[in-house]
Chains A and B, each alone.
Chain A
Amino acid sequence: GAGVSQSPSNKVTEKGKDVELRCDPISGHTALYWYRQSLGQGLEFLIYFQGNSAPDKSGLPSDRFSAERTGGSVSTLTIQRTQQEDSAVYLCASRPGLAGSGELFFGEGSRLTVL
């Protein structure tokens, strides 16, 4: 596709359930990022993938959060045993690689609501 695609756009779940959020980056972009945006707040870095290198997981808030990127393209963010404080918009972004302008291209996000 032309841009970063995220699904689902909105997800409502019950506390304790697992959720998966999907990100399809721009074709050819080797770098992929996940950020979390709580209501009215700035963006909190979660995880970063660059090519075949080991991901930078330093932003993951707990071991309930994990992410994978298959085949260097699509990424899935998984949240296990969801809690109410996990409610937020989860934004995915991609960029061509280490070179270039540094600009990140963002998707429209997945809004997660944990009841």
Chain B
Amino acid sequence: AQTVTQSQPEMSVQEAETVTLSCTYDTSENNYYLFWYKQPPSRQMILVIRQEAYKQQNATENRFSVNFQKAAKSFSLKISDSQLGDTAMYFCAFMIPNAGNMLTFGGGTRLMVKP
């Protein structure tokens, strides 16, 4: 079974600063996808960024980037130039394609961006 662990229940950052959210996972698979989802107070989960395990290059989406360390099974999210609208719950998630296809989620990190 796959597990996803987010060791930081809550974090805060000053507006315009940089923050890194941690995620580790456990799997014996070699091919998989990793995701970071954001859940604002509206409850709707929104994809922030995704990474295919076979790609060595770290994914980047504007102010969001990941540090994917496959051997260490680590997948951290870096948010640069934090904005008030980044305040939300952030969930790390894992999927094995074509094998159930369900997302396994971590417990989440509540991020507060302070003005």
B95 at the interface (CB under 8 A from A): yes
Interfacial residues of chain A within 93-108, with CB under 8 A of chain B in the complex:
93, 95, 98, 101-104, 106-108
Secondary structure type dominating chain B contacts? loop
Report the nearest A residue to B110, measured CB to CB.
A40
B-side interface size class: 20 to 34
- CB proximity of A106 to chain B, nearest CB, Å: 4
- B84-108 vs A, Cβ < 8 Å mask (1 yes, 0 no): 0000000100010110111111111
Cα distance A59–B103 in the bound complex, in angstroms: 12
Cα distance A38–B74 in the bound complex, in angstroms: 26
A residues at B contact (CB < 8 Å): 31, 33, 35, 40-43, 45, 48, 50, 56, 59, 89, 91, 93, 95, 98, 101-104, 106-109, 111
